[in-house]
């Protein structure tokens, strides 16, 4: 390549990165002749998308005062804090190497670190699409991630516990399918991003010294699948945005992402049935009712790493977005569309003299305070604790649940009045070591209307169901 063409490529690369950060990628991976084509496709898609700005529905929005600054989201009522910035040279999905070695301890990573919105970054901005509830989807695709300690295999030679060979193959098969789906779409609709490490690094393929260690390994591995679903979701949004910006007759238009998966995933059994199961999850559902983490952005960012898609893009694809709103922004005409509504600004500036608004708390029943009202060794479960976003978008209806708990409270009160010291001791013993096989298990779920109802789990599925939920979601009642 001549020095002149190199200069042109450098300029195009800089222009492309600044103007369409969410769809940048390793240009060095492409042939020089393809630079202009790929850059043109994505720059054109950005221009067309921004030339038809959305009519922003900011009724879901909220302004908040944080560190003396107004932080505004046009599509979320959640309480948020301004996050610290992650250094540009740090990969938040890989742990630091141990001192003096190249070894990494992946068990130091915890997905809870990604459950709060971060500043958008060109290399890991896709985390804005992370939905911590996606693994609780009823899609059969994710059923393979259900595990039970009752099915752990004990290796007598190594004296360790492991998954059965069949379960290992199922987990690895799903991992390979998700990685292939992302790689396939990313090849045709490239984004420049740090992808997370593969779930197997948390040891679900390995044998462990105890059942507790194996359970912890599976818990971490399973949670990591959620990150792969997040980056896949982001790439699907990029693909749909790019295709929508091009005319059907354009030679630059790539096939739909669904067709790409069917074409390149055939050897991994990624057929139409598999695709339907993927669509049963929220991966390709960009409704605002999906509880994605969201992100902070800087309006008018000039640093390459900080440039993000437009506010329109985030709202179109159901991703909560926050940004600072200052007098400088208010004075510029092209930012007026992103201004908070007048009543939202008023609520934010008068917040200190008012009681907390609806957006500051979850109106659902507090299980901590209603731990008592159950009977007969029952274990009530809630499969997907509603997030603040969900509470505001679909009002929770707890009439049935409240009535259920109130009746239990009355019954427990009557039991306590006649409980003997021996019965009390037995009850406390059960509470200290909850049974799993003999205790009846009930699963609480929220319907589309917002009402909570419960369903009793069959006896042969009790242990598996209990293992499916975290300790924070399980509640045991010893009466």
The per-residue pLDDT for range 391-416, each reduced to its tens digit, is 444 455 677 777 777 888 888 888 88
Task: Check residue 396 and give its pLDDT.
Answer: 55
Q: First vs last Cα of the chain: how many Å apart?
A: 78
Quickly count: other Cβ atoms within 10 Å of residue 414's Cβ. Answer: 9
In angstroms, the CA 235 to CA 185 distance is: 7
In angstroms, the CA 191 to CA 238 distance is: 8
Task: Check residue 52 and give its pLDDT.
Answer: 56
Task: Check residue 445 and give its pLDDT.
Answer: 76
Residues 6 or more apart whose Cβ sits within 8 Å of residue 30: 38
Give residue-wise pLDDT tens across range 126-156.
999 999 889 988 899 999 999 888 889 998 8
Query: What does each C-alpha distance from 50 to 20, 46, 120, 245, 323 come to in angstroms?
Result: 11, 6, 19, 10, 18
Task: Check residue 339 and give its pLDDT.
Answer: 94
Instruction: Write phi, then psi, for 349 (nearest 5 degrees).
Output: -80, -15
Task: Check residue 262 and give its pLDDT.
Answer: 96
Task: Check residue 116 and give its pLDDT.
Answer: 92
Residues 6 or more apart whose Cβ sits within 8 Å of residue 325: 63, 70, 71, 72, 338, 339, 340
Task: Check residue 261 and give its pLDDT.
Answer: 96
CB 34 within 8 A of CB 187: no
**Sign (positive or negative) of CA dihedral 313, 49, 323, 39:** positive
pTM of the model: 0.67
Task: Check residue 228 and give its pLDDT.
Answer: 96
Nearest to 219 by CA among 168, 282, 283, 146: 146
In angstroms, the CA 87 to CA 85 distance is: 6
* Angle (CA) 135 141 146, round 5°: 55
- The alpha-helical segments, DSSP class H, found in 317-419 are 327-330, 342-349, 388-393, 399-418
Residue ranges for the chain with pLDDT beneath 70: 1-53, 351-397, 447-449, 468, 471-472
Task: Check residue 181 and give its pLDDT.
Answer: 97
Task: Check residue 27 and give its pLDDT.
Answer: 34
Task: Check residue 397 and give its pLDDT.
Answer: 63
E strand or H helix at 236, and its extent? helix 211-244
């Amino acid at each position: 390549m001549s020095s002149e063409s190199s200069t042109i490529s450098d300029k195009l690369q800089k222009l492309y990165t600044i103007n369409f950060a969410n769809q940048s990628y390793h240009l060095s991976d492409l042939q020089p002749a393809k630079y202009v084509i790929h850059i043109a496709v994505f720059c054109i898609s950005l221009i067309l998308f921004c030339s038809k700005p959305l009519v922003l529905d900011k009724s879901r929005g909220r302004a908040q005062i944080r560190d003396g600054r107004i932080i505004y989201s046009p599509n979320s009522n959640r309480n948020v804090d301004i996050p610290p910035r992650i250094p540009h040279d740090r990969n938040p999905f890989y742990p630091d190497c141990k001192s003096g070695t190249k070894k990494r301890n992946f068990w130091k990573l915890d997905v809870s670190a990604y459950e709060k919105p971060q500043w958008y970054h060109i290399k890991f901005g896709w985390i804005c699409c992370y939905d911590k509830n996606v693994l609780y989807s009823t899609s059969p695709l994710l059923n393979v991630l259900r595990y039970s300690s009752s099915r752990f295999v004990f290796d007598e030679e190594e004296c360790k516990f492991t998954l059965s060979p069949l379960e290992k193959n199922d987990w690895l098969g799903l991992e390979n399918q998700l990685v292939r789906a992302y790689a396939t779409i990313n090849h045709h609709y490239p984004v420049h991003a740090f992808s997370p490490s593969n779930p197997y690094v948390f040891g679900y393929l390995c044998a462990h010294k105890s059942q507790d260690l194996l359970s912890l390994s599976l818990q971490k591995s399973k949670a990591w699948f959620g990150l792969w679903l997040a980056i896949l979701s982001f790439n699907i949004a990029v693909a749909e945005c790019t295709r929508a910006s091009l005319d059907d007759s354009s030679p630059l238009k790539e096939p739909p992402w669904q067709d790409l998966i069917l074409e390149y995933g055939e050897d991994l059994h990624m057929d139409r049935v598999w695709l339907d199961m993927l669509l049963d999850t929220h991966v390709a559902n960009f409704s605002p009712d999906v509880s994605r983490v969201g992100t902070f952005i800087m309006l008018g960012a000039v640093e390459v790493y900080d440039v993000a898609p437009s506010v329109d893009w985030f709202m179109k694809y159901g991703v909560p977005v926050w940004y600072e709103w200052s007098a400088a922004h208010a004075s510029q005409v092209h930012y007026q569309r992103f201004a908070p509504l007048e009543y939202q600004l008023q609520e934010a500036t008068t917040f200190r003299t008012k009681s907390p608004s609806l957006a500051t708390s979850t109106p659902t029943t507090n299980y901590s305070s209603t731990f008592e009202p159950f009977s007969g060794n029952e274990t009530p479960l809630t499969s997907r604790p509603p997030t603040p976003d969900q509470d505001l978008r679909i009002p929770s209806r707890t009439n049935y649940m409240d009535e259920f708990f109130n009746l239990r409270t009355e019954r427990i009160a009557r039991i306590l009045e006649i409980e003997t010291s021996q019965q009390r001791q037995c009850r406390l013993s059960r509470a200290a070591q909850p049974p799993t096989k003999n205790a009846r298990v009930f699963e609480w779920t929220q319907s589309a209307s917002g009402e909570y109802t419960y369903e009793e789990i069959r006896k042969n599925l009790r242990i598996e169901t209990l293992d499916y939920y975290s300790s924070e979601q399980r509640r045991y009642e010893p009466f």
